[in-house]
Amino acid sequence: MAAKWIEALAGSLEQKKQYKQDKAHIDSLPEPYGSAAQAMHRYLMYYGGVTDGETLLSMFGDLADLWERAAADGTPVREIVGEDPADFAENFAQAYGGRQWIDKERARLAKAIEDAEREDQR
């Protein structure tokens, strides 16, 4: 019973556990892949704006897998991210189309403009 109450306030405990496992996986990658994966993880936390836990878990799990595979294959970091690492990270995040915090603000902006337009027509 207490676990349900805690999850209602803080989110899924299972999701937190999975996130910590994926983060530990990223942190354990050999260099230079570990540094690149950590930097990309940090960027995605700021850029991604995803609010759906399942989507975040999927994205960070795939991020860990991507860098683990690159390390296993010996693929150069630059070959993975290309000339613009931010562009690569943003395209990576866009593949995970979950709800984002900005979605609420987009809807709020659209409603405000519609309300203003209705006022203007009176």
Q: What are 62-87's pLDDT values in tens digits?
A: 999 999 999 999 999 999 999 999 99
Q: Which domain holds residue 44?
A: 2-120
Closest CA to 101 of 65, 48, 34, 44: 48
62 or 45, which is more confident: 62
Q: Is the per-residue pLDDT at 120 higher than 80?
A: no
Number of domains the chain contains: 1
pLDDT at 14: 86
For residues 75, 81, 85, 91, the Cα torsion angle rounded to the nearest 10 degrees is -150
Q: How far is CA 19 from CA 15, 61, 64, in A?
A: 6, 8, 11
What pLDDT, on a 0 to 100 scale, did the predictor assign at position 8? 52
pLDDT at 105: 80
**pTM for the whole structure:** 0.71
Calpha distance 38→53 (Å, rounded): 19
Q: What is the pLDDT of residue 45?
A: 85
Q: How far apart are CA 106 and CA 99, in angstroms?
A: 12
Please report, for the domain that includes residue 30, its CATH number: 1.10.1900.10
